[in-house]
Structure 1
């Protein structure tokens, strides 16, 4: 069971603190990871909730370490706002990729350094490698901790739930390609931004790819069945296996699937009405 504010050691040099922000979108809360034991990298500082910032500081003190840097997987408001508070307190670099605000971003995020694919950081003598994984959002990065074989997945992969893709910053084709990219690494564990450590990483990634393909097939079938319809009409068919209370959120991923089909010249839209291209 995940308990907010408690320092949990998951693997050698890998520690987790859960933020007190549970919700439908965040599950049990956002995971902040402390990497290393003496020279600590804070990965996803989470929301700027004072008790969470205090828990991070207490966790670092419990380890007997010092914060060396702060890195972020992306700039959604449940992942990056805590960076400013920690940076002000400890005067350490904040590293992450920026993106134009689409109404869903942390507008307070002001990194001291940008982030590029394959950037590497020394974490207590081990390598932490940045992996650009657009899809959930264009500035999303996963981080591969080479000593433990752990991929920190942010919102690219969540334990126990699929990820919502919100266009235009989110892109379904990019998301699926980024899932496939993870299979190029010698994965032993997935450490998600929400939920518990995943110990069957390859099966999890392959299962998510299959799930997205299955959902795309259902979107295709819905277009064929409805023939011409808007998101409200299509979500009732393509997501009939999902609780109707979740349909407002499901419509966002449905939109992302439709845009993917449009880019592939398989579907088209006119004034919000979607149909297959025969």
Structure 2
């Protein structure tokens, strides 16, 4: 397979797309080479020799770490082998997940909110953004005011929130935090660079509020299930994604329950008191 050519998306930031396109990954996972020396590789994506070698070849200086935004296998798949090949640590959030999607993933050197990496001409700040996953980190390249968003923001599609490690309340709080940051552009984990961050983040909030209102209306009609609400909200959905859609609705229901607007009775949900 011919490796994707590196694309410069900001000074000191290169993007290469991993060869894992699909319904959940779009064109593939975006991997980033950040820094002018030393450098880090963010989200190597897949355990694919050609892709991993292309990442190494693209680095303009010595690679000091492999960073992961969160422990989902389309982001972590190549992390351990790449780190072993280079003799460097895997760095990310070391929060243990209730439902690990990549049981082989582990963090060698934890990163916490506010940690800063000096990568030559790039200063990379760690931002903890739980929501899509409890262990999710974004990385903010200060000089370019560019946010490496992982799966907190995706291009042209809605981010999936999957309980128990995903939380809609946490997600909206993370988006609010990003709205307060001096971001000029967003480099998502999947898809194109987003050059209107304020509009992008505002659209995410509006979309989630609209969905929440629709779920609230469904509860008002009487007790129901997450799967029944999903079938109502997503009538033309690819059948392969119906289970995911029901879990997404469940994330909204859990948020409503946290606010006293919904209650759960086994598999059924009803409006709160």
**TM-score, with length taken from structure 2:** 0.94
Q: CA offset at residue 214 of structure 1?
A: 0.5
User: Could you say what the CA RMSD is over the residues aligned between the two structures, in angstroms?
Assistant: 1.6
Residue 185 of structure 1 corresponds to 181
1:219 aligns with 2:210: no
Residue 201 of structure 2 corresponds to 205
Deviations 1:27-62 (A, max 9, x none): 1000000012332111112121222212212222xx
Choose which of 114, 118, 121 in structure 1 pairs with 2:117: 121
CA contact (8 A) 1:77 1:104 kept: no
**TM-score, with length taken from structure 1:** 0.93
- For residues 146 and 27 of structure 2, what CA distance do their matches in structure 1 show? 21
Q: CA offset at residue 195 of structure 1?
A: 0.3
**What pairs with 1:63-82 in structure 2 (closer than 5 Å)?**
63=60, 65-82=61-78
Q: CA offset at residue 221 of structure 1?
A: 0.9
Q: CA offset at residue 224 of structure 1?
A: 1.4
Residue 93 of structure 1 corresponds to 89
Deviations 1:56-105 (A, max 9, x none): 12222xx3x22122211101001013121111111112211134354552
Specify the SS of the correspondent of 1:129.
Answer: strand
Residue 171 of structure 1 corresponds to 167
Specify the SS of the correspondent of 1:78.
Answer: helix
CA contact (8 A) 1:16 1:32 kept: yes
- For residues 103 and 48 of structure 2, what CA distance do their matches in structure 1 show? 16
- For residues 47 and 244 of structure 1, what CA distance do their matches in structure 2 show? 25
Residue 237 of structure 2 corresponds to 243
1:138 aligns with 2:134: yes
**What pairs with 1:31-70 in structure 2 (closer than 5 Å)?**
31-60=30-59, 63=60, 65-70=61-66
1:255 aligns with 2:254: no
- For residues 49 and 76 of structure 1, what CA distance do their matches in structure 2 show? 16
- For residues 25 and 104 of structure 1, what CA distance do their matches in structure 2 show? 17
> Measured at CA, do residues 4 and 201 of structure 1 come closer, stay the same or move farther in structure 2, by a change above 3 Å?
farther
Return 194-203 or 38-47, whichever deviates more. 38-47
Query: Unaligned stretches of 5+ in structure 2?
Result: none
CA contact (8 A) 1:75 1:98 kept: no
Specify the SS of the correspondent of 1:79.
Answer: helix
Choose which of 104, 107, 131 in structure 2 pairs with 1:111: 107
CA contact (8 A) 1:19 1:31 kept: yes
Runs of 4+ in 1 over 6 A off after TM superposition: none
CA contact (8 A) 1:222 1:238 kept: no
Residue 272 of structure 2 corresponds to 277
How many residue pairs were aligned?
271
Q: CA offset at residue 11 of structure 1?
A: 1.5
CA contact (8 A) 2:12 2:122 kept: no
Specify the SS of the correspondent of 1:217.
Answer: helix
Q: CA offset at residue 110 of structure 1?
A: 2.3
Q: CA offset at residue 174 of structure 1?
A: 0.3
Query: Unaligned stretches of 5+ in structure 1?
Result: none
